Amino acid sequence: MHKITLVTGGTGNLGGHVVTQMVGQGRPVRALSRRPPAAGEAPGVEWCQGDLAAGEGLERALEGVDTIVHCATDGRTRRGDVVAAQNLVEAAARADGPHIVFVSIIGVDRHPLGYYQAKYDTELLIEASGLPYTILRAAQFHDMLHYALHQASRLPVMPVLARTSFQSVDTAHVASRTVELSTGDPCGRVADLPGPHTLTMTDMARTYLRLTGRRRPILPLVAPGSVPRAYRQGLHLAAAPQPGSRSFEDFLREGPAVKVPAAARKTAR
């Protein structure tokens, strides 16, 4: 018999996939979210409303839990993810010390983007907590590149980052690996999970325009600043792409809805 797994951010992009896959496997799942689900959403899930940022509702959410899959993220405040993780770790320590599985991003220990730095700080916090943990770093999701290209294509000329490549990965694939890790023993930091191809942003833009039937001239730009330079240096990339995930092109062929990623939300300083 499986004990209860708590999924934070259960209504989010990654968390929603994790919850759905666990339910499909017949695992008892409790999802923590700031908002209740819509009627009929994710049947078979126990929903628990709470606020990680305020530390509210966590004691109830952790009752009987032996594993936490921490997917909740919030790019609206610079330190939002760290505060949320601190509250979660403290509540978990007061409970039965469950195994925490945290999904982070490849390169967060070397990339200067504030959202990535918050992910790295969260990793360090979990590692120092004394709780059993597993940390998986994944590449940028296809959804994130889809959003960026959609936004760029709204202009008469489509700007992209010059000399910049991505190894974007399918969200459901990351969820599958996360679910797998949640069923096993704590592993510390595990191998990174990039997507199946390393593609320049220019090539991704060409694919996006072709599959959406749009026509735009593409303008590769060498943007100033440390963050664009870090992307050009490939600080967000794994040593090599990894097969197994649906490709970016196959993702686009399904005509997905445009989703605003957490990192693209307005960030307060």
Tens digits of residue pLDDT in 180-201: 999 999 999 999 999 999 999 9
The per-residue pLDDT for range 217-254, each reduced to its tens digit, is 999 999 999 999 999 999 999 999 999 999 999 999 99
Count the alpha carbons within 13 Å of 198 in the hemisphere toward its beta carbon: 13
Q: Are 78 and 268 in contact (CB under 8 A)?
A: yes
Q: Please provide residue 35's backbone torsions phi and psi, each rounded to the nearest 5 degrees.
A: -125, 150
**Looking at the DSSP assignment, which residues form a beta bridge with residue 73?**
none
Q: Which CATH superfamily is domain 4-262 in?
A: NAD(P)-binding Rossmann-like Domain (3.40.50.720)
Provide the whole-model pTM: 0.94
On the question of pLDDT at 4 being above 60, the answer is yes
* pLDDT over 70 (residue 268): no
What are the residue boundaries of the structural domains of the chain, listed by start?
4-262
Residues whose CB falls within 8 Å of the CB of residue 75, separated by 6 or more in sequence, listed in order: 115, 261, 262, 263, 264, 265, 267
d(CA 265, CA 109): 22
Res 42: pLDDT: 65
* SS3 label, residue 165: strand
Q: Which of 203, 226, 217, 212 is nearest to 159 (CA)?
A: 217
The predicted pLDDT at position 34 comes to: 81
Report the chain's mean pLDDT, rounded to a whole number: 93
